[in-house]
Amino acid sequence: MPLPKDSLVNCDIESLAYGGRGVAHVDGMAVFVAGGLPGDTVSVRIVRSKKRFAEGVAEAVITPSAHRVEPHCVHFGTCGGCVLQHLAYEEQLAQKNAQVAAALARIGGVQGLVMDPPAASPEVWGYRNKMEFAFEQRQDGLHLGLRQPTPEGANRPGPVLDIAQCHLCDAYDVEIMAAVREFCRASGVPAYDPAADTGYWRHLVIRHTRAGEVMAHLITARDERKDNLINDLAALFRERFPEMASFVHSIRSRRSVVAFGERIIHTLGNAFVEERLIRGDRQVRYRLSPNAFFQTNTGGAGELFATIADFCALSEAQSLLDLYCGTGAIGIYLAGEAGRVIGVELSEEAVAKARESARLNGLSHCTFIAGSLEQGIPGMDGSGDQAPPDVVVVDPPRSGLHENTAQALLALGAPRIVAVSCDPATLARDVKRLSDRYRLTRTRAVDMFPHTHHIETVALLELVV
């Protein structure tokens, strides 16, 4: 029997579902509980009831879990940046690892899976090297900060919260954001409203690299009459933040609420910042442009890439094919151990940056190709005498492999595929897609995002001969 909507039930939270809600069972029915932690006994108000499951909100904690801890941040519970600050980090890691295992068993059909121990983030606080702050105009004025959780049942982002602190990034980044908020309020110019297609200020993105370089990337609507404001803000940065390596202004005309500039205008300092990782005795260097994708946790990226390298087990006589390579971060990291690296990425801008980073690292055996993977793998159709690469790394977007890409991988028949995924469910689906020719032999969860529900996974699939 479905649980009546608005009814109150008491239940024990058994685990965490992907997304951060607690999982309980009432009369055999699964109940997903917002605010419930494993080990809690809670009073839950049912907000949605289906035939096979229900959704609820914890209204009271009757008996708290032994894993409950005090949140660090004054904004926790209001800001949407974190959902798990009140759960001890060791338990966060254990629950995320269990989510990966459950998805591979339930969706991927993997039997008898034994996972490698999960990799914790080297830093649990202050780990983010990139923050995306949003502007919003409301009746009480202009706001700049992080978004609150999306309202239940709403098809729109939550309102912007004017944060005063954030423990996921460096305090210096929050100081810059607060100065920009003060400047933009004083300008009297409103924030952009995507519904009305009016206003000016859209996003502020701050990168802070391990090399100590900081980039402020301001995204606005198009309005050349306000260029003087950008010049005034650059002057403010020179005065209050003289260490800032780069200030970039970009224009976005599309209404979609994405922190991505369509036309970039270099304003102050360098046009890029440099990030660095250590691989053995090599220092791997990356030049990051304003729109470039790079893992947002530099220490975690080191753990992730080291895991990928371990699973790849490359030698100098072997070739690596890096699909969905972005700016080439993985291929360049592995290039010291491979005889040849070929990267494929849709974005021509990202491929240009990958080539630039390869030159920066003195790598002459890396080739990066701009092309779509939706019609297969450019230059490799698996036919004739063409030898497949020794290892293929795939790091697709959250939606996973395109069906044509999966079929092309099956036809190519590389001895090893190392799959990297930010979504356990789509990874499990792709593992099942490739199961006709590949067997999953190793899996490791890598936590890049402490205190959030996100988890990265690396999976090794080996060709069944």
Is 324 annotated to bind a ligand? Reply is yes
Flag whether 345 is marked binding: yes
Q: Catalytic one among 82, 312, 325, 422?
A: 422
If we measure between CA atoms, which residue out of 400, 421, 455 comes closest to residue 311?
421
Q: Say which residues have a Cβ less than 8 Å from residue 212's Cβ, sequence separation at least 6.
A: none
Count of C-beta atoms within a 10 Å radius of residue 314? 20
Residues 464 and 438 sit within 8 Å (Cβ to Cβ): yes
Residue 41: C-alpha distances to residues 18, 25, 199, 332 (Å) = 20, 12, 47, 48
How buried is residue 51: exposed, middle or buried, by Cβ count under 10 Å (0-12/13-18/19+)? exposed
92 among the known binding-site residues? no
Written as six digits, the tokens of 352 are 């240009």
Helix axes 403-412, 424-433, angle to 10 degrees: 50
Known catalytic membership, residue 11: no
Find out whether 139 is annotated in a ligand binding site. Answer: no
Residue with tokens 């959030």: 452
Phi, psi of 442 (to 5 degrees): -145, 145
Could you give the residue numbers annotated as active site? 422
